[in-house]
Structure 1
Amino acid sequence: MIIGIPCETRPGETRVAMIPANLQPWADSPVDFLIESGAGRSAGYADQDYIDAGAALAASRDDLFARADIVLQVQSFGANTVSADADLERLRAGQLIIGMTDPLANPAAAKELAERGVSSLSLELIPRISRAQSMDVLSSMATLAGYHAVLMGAVDAPRILPMLMTAAGTLTAARVFIMGAGVAGLQACATAKRLGAIVEAYDVRPAAREQILSVGAKPIELELETDTSEDKGGYAKAQGEDFLRRQRELMTAVLAQQDIVITTAAVPGAKSPILITAEMVKAMKPGAVIVDIAAERGGNCELTQLNQTVIAEGVKILGPENIPARHAYHASQMYGKNMETLLKLILEQGELRLDFEDDIIREAVVTHGRDIINARIRTALGSEPAPGVSAGTVADTVKE
C-alpha cells in the first residue's frame, strides 16, 4: 500500500495533508508514504523531516500519482477549482482520493471521478458524531479561522481591545460581537475575551446559549422563533426570508453598539445568509470593523467582497479567504491528525477496507469504483439512489 502526499497547487494554499509526525504510526506496517518534494515546505516541514519519518520522495508529481494507491490532499477535486484539472489526467481507476472536495457546492466534480473509476472520500462529509470528532477537519479549520478573525479585527480597529487605566486616563474596552456560535464563533469569543474585549455573541440555535456562556461571552437573545434552526448534524439550517428580515431588524440596534463584528454563519453547500445589510452598516459606528469569515460563500454582509477591504459609511468590511492557510504549521498539524485517524479506520494490516456499514464511511465516501454512491451528492445531481455497496477494497468494484 502506497500513500501519496503531493504539493497543494491551489494559489494561496500553504497547508499539507499530513506532517511527518502523522507517518510514524505506520513505521512498522506494510504502508509506505511517498512525498512530492516541497509538499510541506510552506507549512514549515522540510523534505528531510518526512524522510526521517520513513517516507520516500517521489521523482516527480507524475511519479507520485502513478505509484500511489491513495492520494491525500488538502484541497482536492471540487474544492480546487483553479488548478486541479492537470491532476485529473494523472488519476487511474482503482485509486482513492481523500481530501476536501466541496461536494455539496460542486457535486459535478464527482461525476468526473466516477467516470475514471476513481474512488473519493470527502472530509467535509464526515458526520458529526462522537466517534468521528478526531476526524472532523471542518471543526479543526474553523478553530483557526475564529482565532485569526479576532486578530484581523484587532489590527484594523482604531482602538485597542482591553481596558487600560493609565496616567493619561482610562481607555475603555472594545465591544466585540460574534454572529454565529459554531466552532469558529466560539473560538472567536474565547480569543476576544482573552484579549480583554467585552464580548457578546448571537446564534440562531437555542442550544448555543450555554456554549456562548462557557467561553466567557454574553449571549444576545432576539425575539425569534428558533425551534427549527438546527439540523441533526448540529449545523444551522437555512432560514426563510421572513425570519431573516425580522432578525435583521432586531440586530440593527445591537450592531450600532459594536466596535468589531465577526460573522461566521454558513450553511453547508449553500450561499452564506445575509445577516448584515447595507442599511444595517449605516447604523454602525464610524471606525467599526466587520470581519466576514463566510466571505468564500458570498459573505454574511451584503457589502463583503472576497479578498478585499471595503469601506462603507466609515465601516471597514474585511472578506478574507482560506484563513486557516495563514497558520499553515498548526493547520497542517490538525488536518494531519484528522487524516491519520481516518486512515486508521480504513486501513487494516496495510490493506484498504471500506466498510459501508460504518456511518463514517457511508457518509463520507462520494465515489466508489465507477459509481457515485453518496446519497446527498446523488440527490444534488438529481440521480436515483445508489445500489447497495458492501465492504471491500476499492479495486474490488472497478471493472475494466
Structure 2
Amino acid sequence: MLTIGVLKEPGFEPRVSLNPDIAAALVKSNIKVVAETGAGERAFAGDPVYTAAGVALASRQEVLAQSDILLSINAPAAEDCRQMKKGAVLIGVYQPLFNQKLMQEWAVSGLTIFSLDTLPRTTRAQAMDVLSSQANIAGYKAVLVAAAAYPRYFPMFMTAAGSIPPAKALILGAGVAGLQAIATARRLGAVVEVFDTRPAVKEEVMSLGARFVEVEGAADASKAGGYAVEQSEDFQQRQKAKIAEHVAKADIVITTAQIPGRQAPVLITTDMIDSMKPGSVIVDLAAVTGGNTSLTRNNETVVHKGISIIGNSSLAATLPADASKLYGKNVHNFLKILLDKESNLVLNFGDDLVKGACIVHGGEVVNERVAQLLAAPAQG
C-alpha cells in the first residue's frame, strides 16, 4: 500500500500541506496517510480531526522513514532528507529557480522532487496551481492589511460633519493577486486604478469596476505561460513615468509584479514614494524576491516620511485554514496524475505537467531552467 506522509512545517509557517478532508479522500482510495503529530494545529486542524479522517499519527522520524510520497510546503532540512526512504517523492513549493544549489544537493540524495510553483500555467493545470490559489488569498489580505494601516476611511462618507472622499488605490499587476486586490478594494469603497503590461487583462480589470492604466509597446507575454516577462528599456522608461504620475495621486498601492527566477522589478522609486501623501500605504507582495519598491524589506514595515511600505510575500499564510484547504486540493489534483487507478505511483514524464513540475529525478536535476542556472557560472 502506498504511504503518503504529511510533515509539520517550520515555525514560521502555519499552513499544512494536506488538510483532513483531502486526507480522508486519499484513505478511501486505499492509500495510507501518516501525519506528523501536530502538523495541522496552526491551520486549525488538530490531531483528533486527522485521526477521525483515518490518518495515522507518528513522529517526524517515523513519517520520514515510512513514506513513499512526502508532502511539505517548505523545504525540509538536510537531516530530514537523509532519513527519507530511498527513491522517495517530495512535493512542495521550493522555489527551485532561486534555490538551485539545494536542488543539486537533493539530486545527490536520490530523491524525486516536485515543486508545484514550476507547473505550466495552462488550463489543465489550474486545478493544481498552488501559486494561483495562494495568490488569491494574498491579494485579498493585502487590501485588508493596507486598510488597517491607512489612517483614513476607504469608502466615501457624507455626514453632517462633512464629506470624506474615497481612498484612491493603485494596483500594480493584474494577475490572480492583483485581481483579487481590485475586487476587495472596490468592495471596501475605494476608487481603483490598475497597471499591467498585458493589454489582454484590460477587460477583466474594467469588469471589476477599476480603471486600466495603459502604456503602449509592452513585450508580448502570450507565450510566457501566464508569467510576466522582461520589458525593453524604452518601455520601462515610459512605464516608470506613467506609474510615477499615478503613484503621486494614490493613497494605497498594492504591488504584485514578479518574474520567475529573477529579482522583482523595482517599479516604485524613492522619488515616487516621496511624492505620496503622508499616511499613504504600500503593500509589496513581491518582497521575498527583492520587492517592487526601492525601500521594501521582506517581512518588515518601513515608514518613510509618513508613508508605510509593508513588505510581505507570505500573506496567504495569515489565513492558514482556508489557505491549507485550497493548497490541499491543489496537491490532491496533482497526485491524481502521479497515481494510477490502483493508487500505485506511476511517473509519466510524457505528461507536460509531470515533466514541468519535476525538478530532481534519478540523481539529476532534470528541470531545464534549473539545470541551465546551475551551469551558468561554469560558462562564464
Report what 2:292 is aligned to. 300
1:281 to 263, 273, 277: 273
1:323 to 299, 308, 315: 315
Q: Mark the CA change 1:227 to 1:321 in structure 2 (over 3 Å): closer, same or farther.
A: closer
How far apart, CA to CA, are the structure 2 residues paired with 1:251 and 1:121?
37
Contact kept, 8 Å, 1:22 with 1:337, in 2: the verdict is yes
Report what 1:75 is aligned to. 74
Q: Report whether the alignment pairs 1:164 with 2:184.
A: no
Report what 1:370 is aligned to. 363
How far apart, CA to CA, are the structure 2 residues paired with 1:231 and 1:281?
33
Report what 1:183 is aligned to. 176
Contact kept, 8 Å, 1:96 with 1:121, in 2: the verdict is yes
Contact kept, 8 Å, 2:172 with 2:256, in 1: the verdict is yes
Report what 1:333 is aligned to. 325
Matches within 5 A, 1:248-267: 248-267=240-259
Percent identical among aligned pairs is: 44
- Structure 2 segments unaligned to the other structure (5+ residues): none
Amino acid at match of 2:196: D
1:221 to 214, 218, 227: 214
Report what 2:34 is aligned to. 34
Amino acid at match of 1:162: P
**Shift, 1:101, TM fit:** 0.8
**Shift, 1:241, TM fit:** 4.1
Report what 1:312 is aligned to. 304
How far apart, CA to CA, are the structure 1 residues paired with 2:318 and 2:233?
35
Amino acid at match of 1:318: I
Amino acid at match of 2:369: R
How far apart, CA to CA, are the structure 2 residues paired with 1:105 and 1:213?
35
How far apart, CA to CA, are the structure 2 residues paired with 1:350 and 1:203?
43
How far apart, CA to CA, are the structure 1 residues paired with 2:83 and 2:230?
38
**Shift, 1:304, TM fit:** 0.9
Amino acid at match of 1:153: A
Contact kept, 8 Å, 1:92 with 1:117, in 2: the verdict is no
Report what 1:389 is aligned to. none
Poorly superposed stretches of 4+, deviation over 4 Å: none
2:82 to 86, 89, 114: 89
Q: TM-score, normalised by structure 1?
A: 0.90
Q: TM-score, normalised by structure 2?
A: 0.95
* 1:331-352 Cα deviation digits (max 9, x unpaired): 0000000001111121111210
**Shift, 1:165, TM fit:** 1.6
- Structure 1 segments unaligned to the other structure (5+ residues): 78-83, 384-400
Report what 1:144 is aligned to. 137
Q: Mark the CA change 1:202 to 1:152 in structure 2 (over 3 Å): closer, same or farther.
A: same
Contact kept, 8 Å, 2:67 with 2:85, in 1: the verdict is no
Amino acid at match of 2:22: N
**Shift, 1:157, TM fit:** 0.9
Amino acid at match of 1:291: V
CA RMSD of aligned residues (A): 1.4
How far apart, CA to CA, are the structure 1 residues paired with 2:89 and 2:187?
43
Q: Mark the CA change 1:194 to 1:335 in structure 2 (over 3 Å): closer, same or farther.
A: same
Amino acid at match of 1:19: N
Q: What SS does structure 1 have at the residue aligned with 2:34?
A: strand
Q: What SS does structure 2 have at the residue aligned with 1:380?
A: helix
Report what 1:65 is aligned to. 64
1:103 to 96, 103, 109: 96
